Amino acid sequence: MSRSIEVAVFPVAGLGTRFLPATKAVPKEMLPVVDRPVIQYAVDEAKEAGITEFVFVTSRGKSEIEDHFDHHTELYETLERRQKAAALEDARSADLPVGSYALVRQPEPLGLGHAVWCARHVVGDRPFAVLLPDELFRGRPGVLKQMVDAHSRLGGAIVAVREVPKDLTDRYGIIDVETDDGTAASVKGLVEKPAPAEAPSNLSIVGRYILPPDVFAYLDRHETGAGGEIQLTDAMARLLGDHPFHGLRFTGDRFDCGDKAQFVAANLVLALDRPDLADKVRDRIKAHI
C-alpha cells in the first residue's frame, strides 16, 4: 500500500509569453474560463483527489492568485447584507481552508524543474502531486483522482500521458515504454522534445505528475537541459530503476490554456456544457460559424 498523496505543487512562476498582451499585467493562471480563473479548475481537481495542502510557486506580479484563494471578509459581508446568497456561494467556492496553502517564490523562471525544487521544504519527505494550472483537464473522476488511484496500486512515479501526432514529438516530453496494459504504461526512459525520428513513442507527458520526494535530490544539482532550462523531465528520468514509473492514459479532455486557440476552445466547450449558458452562447455565435 503506497503512502497517500496529501500535498500538491502548482508552479505559476512562468512568464506566459504565448499569451501576451493579456499576461503583461495579469497572470495567465488568472484568465477566466467561463466564470472562474483557470487555476481554480486545477485546485478543485486536486481537492477532489484528496489533496489537503496546496503549494503555489509564484513570482513577481502573481499576488492576485493568493488573493483569489483567500477569505474576502469585506466582499462576503456586503453580499450577505444585500442578501445575494448565490453570489456569496460563488465567491466562497474558491476559498481554501485557513492554513492549508503556502506560497514560495521562484525568483527567476529557470524552468519547471527549478520551480518544483523551490517547493522542496514545504513538501518535505512525502510523495507529492504537481499540477500545471494552465492545463485544464476535465474527467470523471478528475484526472488527478485517476492518478492517485493508480498510485495506490502501482506506487512510485505516475505521469499523465496522451497520444500526440508522431510529427509533433519535438514539442513534448515523450516516454519510452517497457510494457503497456493499454491504460498504464511502464516507463523505461524519458526524452524531452525529441525530433520525430528519434522519439521512442508518441506518448507525451502532460501537466499532471505524482512524484516521490527523491526527485528533489536530482533537482538539487540544478542541471540544465533542453532550452537551457532546469527540466523536470530530466530529474524524473533519474528516478527510473529506483522506483516503479508509469505513464497513465487518463480519460477526459485537456486544454492547454496557455495557448490562445485552446483557451478560446475551452471557454466555448465548457460554456456549452453549462445548462445556464449553453443556449444563450449557441444562439449568439450561430451567425458567426
Q: Which residues bind ligand UTP (CB under 6 A)?
A: 11-19, 57, 106, 109-112, 114-115, 132-134, 258
- Nearest residue (CB) to ligand UTP, 2 versus 224: 224
Report the phi/psi class of residue 216: left, alpha or beta, with left for phi > 0 and alpha for psi in -120 to 50: alpha
Shortest approach of ligand UTP to residue 251 CB, angstroms?
A: 23
Shortest approach of ligand UTP to residue 222 CB, angstroms?
A: 12
- Nearest residue (CB) to ligand UTP, 110 versus 177: 110
* 21 preceded by a cis bond (ω within 30 of 0): yes
Query: Are the CB atoms for 28 and 38 separated by under 8 Å?
Result: yes
Shortest approach of ligand UTP to residue 153 CB, angstroms?
A: 28
Distance CA(128)–CA(174), nearest Å, equals: 21
Shortest approach of ligand UTP to residue 180 CB, angstroms?
A: 27
Distance CA(234)–CA(241), nearest Å, equals: 14
- Nearest residue (CB) to ligand UTP, 106 versus 204: 106
Shortest approach of ligand UTP to residue 259 CB, angstroms?
A: 8
- Nearest residue (CB) to ligand UTP, 151 versus 208: 208
Look up cell 506506487; give the residue: 155
- Count other Cβ atoms within 10 Å, centred on residue 56: 24
Shortest approach of ligand UTP to residue 164 CB, angstroms?
A: 16
Distance CA(25)–CA(3), nearest Å, equals: 40
- Nearest residue (CB) to ligand UTP, 174 versus 271: 174
- Nearest residue (CB) to ligand UTP, 59 versus 154: 59
Helix H segments across the chain?
38-48, 63-68, 73-81, 85-92, 112-117, 120-123, 143-154, 215-219, 232-237, 260-272, 278-285
